[in-house]
Amino acid sequence: MLNRRAVMTGAAALASTAVFETLPTRAALPLSGSASAPVYRIKVGDIEVTAVGDGYLDIPLDLFPSAKADEADALYAKSFLPKGPIRTWINTYVVNSGGRLILIDSGTAKLMGPTMGDLPKNLAAAGIDPKAVDTVILTHMHPDHVGGITNADGTAAFPNAEVIVRDAEYAFWTDDGIASRAPQDVQPFFAMAKGGVKPYLSKTRRFDKDGEVAKGVTAISAPGHTPGHTMYRIDSGGASLLIWGDIVHCAALQFAKPDWAISFDSDQAQAIASRKRAFDMAANERLLVAGMHLPFPGIGHVLRDGSAYGYVPTAWNPVL
């Protein structure tokens, strides 16, 4: 016997069937094939800092001379990473105080392969005009940090900017005598460094002591990776950010194994000492850190993990 509920249920089923039978078939949304632009913005007190990616590079484990394959594999697994080449990121940071627009490091341009050199398009995605950048500060002068300040035609990529760099770093990479005595595979690095700063010769400011190099930006010596490798601490309104350059090249390995230097270090023992000092500073002061080779955006905190260290990436915050 039919009742009201049965009639209503049957009618609804018939109606829905009719609707679905008459709806046209729609194509699925095509796959995009790309990720969103690597741009991430935070506030440090009254200063706005924007992480802008330049790309990435996959490097082999044998670039870490002290690394043991079984230990590395265990650390990869702990970080949910596959075995094989290590992906290292190329990050830059734009510091906007409202009065100055500072770029810290500039990526590679196209000096080191097709997976890098994306800073220009990613600055555009961030709404940052290269002509508005009035200062470029270098942590050091390896090509993945200095390469992006010069266009392919040799002109300045940031035409209105002065360049700030530690004197020991500049003197090392622009010394033809040192370059001539360097191993053959390293000599191109000298040429790239000199070519990078060439358009800025009249607008380069060199410093030799730690201290404030721009309002709210303090240089802190951290040699070893290169002779004049420098970290920069941003301080504003009681908040701080330590932009530490190349203290770490692989987060999955070097927080747990701070003694694992990379072959690119000019003085591995000194680089290890600088890394431990930076880790201690960040952990003791609970500093927010930013690293040029940490997974993008390369911003997070350092914690102690027994005799080693750990890394906690920052959580995305939609509110500045």
pLDDT given for residue 318 in this prediction: 86
Q: Tell me yes or no: is domain 37-313 CATH 3.60.15.10.
A: yes
Least confident of 170-174, 208-212, 313-317: 313-317
pLDDT band at 32 (very low <50, low <70, confident <90, very high): confident
Query: Which residue is it, tokens 């209105």?
Result: 160
pLDDT given for residue 9 in this prediction: 52
pLDDT band at 26 (very low <50, low <70, confident <90, very high): low
Q: What share of the chain is helix, strand, coil (3-state, %, to 5)?
A: 30, 25, 40
How does DSSP classify residue 284? H
User: Which tens digits make up the pLDDT trace of 233-264?
Assistant: 999 999 999 999 999 999 999 999 999 999 99
User: Phi and psi dihedrals of 244, rounded to 5?
Assistant: -105, 10
36, two tokens: 């969103």
First to last CA, the chain: 65
Q: Is the model's pLDDT at 12 over the cut of 60?
A: no
User: Which tens digits make up the pLDDT trace of 145-186?
Assistant: 999 999 999 999 999 999 999 999 999 999 999 999 999 989
Contact 190, 162 (CB under 8 A): no
pLDDT band at 10 (very low <50, low <70, confident <90, very high): low
**Mean pLDDT, to the nearest integer, of 81-90?**
93
How does DSSP classify residue 31? P
**Mean pLDDT, to the nearest integer, of 92-116?**
95
